[in-house]
Structure 1
Amino acid sequence: MEKIQVLLIEDDPMVQEVNRQFVEQVEGFTVAGVAGSGVEGMERIRTLKPDLAIMDIYMPQQDGIETLTQIRQEQLPVDVMVISAANDQKTIQRMLQYGAVDYIMKPFKFERVRQALEHYRGMKQALNHSGPVSQSELDRMLHRAAEQDAAASMGKSAASTSRNHDLLSAADELPKGLQAVTMRQIVHFLLQQPHPLSAEEVAEGVGIARVTARRYLEYLEKSGRLRLDLQYGVGRPVNKYVISSVES
C-alpha cells in the first residue's frame, strides 16, 4: 500500500513541527504539506488531495469547525483528524458529527498520535480491499481503538493494584523495632498522596515523630517500595519519598 498522504493544518509553527515529526515516525505515513490557517488548508486540500488532514480548531482567518464544515459542503474526499486544545463538549461533538475520525487534545503524547494513526491505517487498508465488507470485519475496524484503550486501561489498573498490594504487604515482614500498626498507617497515608513527601510531612500527616517516620521511610526505600526523590532549593537538598512506579 502506498504511503498515506497527510496535510497538517496548524497555525503554531512549533506544534506544526512536532506534528510532522510524530506523523513521519509512524510507518506508512508521510506529510504531503502544511497550512497555517483554515483558508490555506482548504487550498492545500484541493491541490494536494491528501488522504488525511490533521487540523487544529483555534486558527486565524478560519477555524477548524468552519474548515471541516466547508470540507463536507464541498464533498472533498479527505478524512480529518483533530489535534487541538479545545476541550468543550460542544466543539468536540460538532467535529465528531461532521466526521472527524479521531480527536486528540493538547498537550498530547506521541503514543496517542501513533495509536490514532495506526487505527486509521488499518481501517483504510481494510476499506481499500475489493469486494464487500463483512459485519465482523467492520466491527473490528470500528471497535479496534476502543479495545486498545480498554486493554491499556486494564494494564495500568493491574499494575497499580500490584504496586499497592506490594506496598501494603510491607507490614507483614518487618525487621525488629518496626511496628506493623505504624507501618500500615504510613502506607495508607502514602497511597493517598500524589506527590513526594519528606519525613517531616509524613510524620505530621500520620501523627508520629519525625525520627520515627524517617526509619519507616528508609526501610520502605531500601526494600524498593519507595523511591527517594532529592529536591533542591535553598540550602541542603531535601529527601522526599514517593511510591515506586511499576513502569519504572
Structure 2
Amino acid sequence: MDAITVLLIEDDPMVREVNRGFIERVENCRVVGYASNGREGLEQIERLKPELVFMDIFMPEQDGISTIRAIRERELPVEVIAVTAANDRKTIRQILQYGAFDYIMKPFTFERMKQAISHFKEYRERFKKGQQLTQDELDNLLHGISSIEGLEHGEPLPKGLNRATLEKINHYIETRKEPTSAEEVAEGVGLARVTARRYLDYLEKQNKVKLILQYGGIGRPVNRYEAVRGN
C-alpha cells in the first residue's frame, strides 16, 4: 500500500510536533509538510499535493473555516481532518458542511487519530478499486456503520446499552488490523473498560465479533476481539 501523504496546518509548534509524532506512528503514513496558517497551507497543498490535511481551526491570518472553503472552491483533491479545540455547534457544523472527512477535538488520544487515519485508508482503498459499492459498504464509509445496522430492527438492546455506542465500538473493531483487547477498545472509544466489555460481550453473542484468547508469558491469557467478516 502506498504511504498516505499528510500536510499539517497548525500554528502552535508544540501541538504540530505532537500531531506529527502521532501520525507517523501509524503504518504507511508520512508527514510531507507543515504550515502555520491557512494561507501557507493552501500554498503547500498546491505545491506538495498531499492526500490528507490535518488542520486547526483557530489560526492567525487565515483560519480553518476560510481555508477549507477555499480548498473546496479551488477543487483541490485533498481530504481534510479538523484537529481543534473548537467545540461549538456553529463551528462544527460549518466545517462538516464544507466536507471535512473527520473532526477530532483537542485533547485527543493517539487511538482517536489512528482511528481517523484507518477510516481514511479504507475510504481511499475502496475508491481506488473502481468497483461499485453496496449500500452497506457506502454506509460504512460515510457513517462508520455496516453489518451492525441489521441489529436496528432486531431485538431491543439490553438495558444500559446505547445503539450509537454499539455502532462506534463495532466500527472501531472493524478498522483494526489485529485483534484488540477490551482495554484498547475502551481507550479508543472513550469508555470505562467494564463498560466496553459489556458491549463486546453483546456483540460476541450477536456474532458480530469473535473472542480470541491470546497466550503470552506467564499468567492468564488475554481476551481479544476481532470483527466477524462478511456477516
Fold-level match, TM-score > 0.5?
yes
Output aligned runs, 1:1-248, within 5 Å: 1-144=1-144, 149-151=168-170, 152=185, 156=191, 159-160=194-195
Q: CA separation in 1, counterparts of 2:13 and 2:196?
A: 42
How many residue pairs align between the two structures?
A: 163
Sequence identity percentage: 50
CA-to-aligned-CA distance 1:11-45 (integer Å, 9 cap, x gap): 00000000101001111211011111111000000
What is the letter of the counterpart of residue 159 of structure 1? V
Q: CA separation in 2, counterparts of 1:33 and 1:127?
A: 25
TM-score scaled to structure 1, two decimals? Answer: 0.61
SS at match of 1:7: strand
Q: CA separation in 1, counterparts of 2:38 and 2:15?
A: 16
What is the letter of the counterpart of residue 126 of structure 1? R
Structure 2 unpaired stretches of 5+: 146-163, 171-184, 199-231
Larger proportion of helix: 1
Deviation at 1:158, TM superposition (A): 7.1
Q: CA separation in 2, counterparts of 1:78 and 1:114?
A: 18
SS at match of 1:30: strand
TM-score scaled to structure 2, two decimals? Answer: 0.65
Q: CA separation in 2, counterparts of 1:143 and 1:56?
A: 23
Q: CA separation in 1, counterparts of 2:66 and 2:124?
A: 25
Say if 1:59 and 1:133 are closer, same or farther in 2 by CA, change over 3 A.
same
SS at match of 2:82: strand
Say if 1:55 and 1:155 are closer, same or farther in 2 by CA, change over 3 A.
closer
Say if 1:36 and 1:162 are closer, same or farther in 2 by CA, change over 3 A.
closer
Structure 1 unpaired stretches of 5+: 164-248
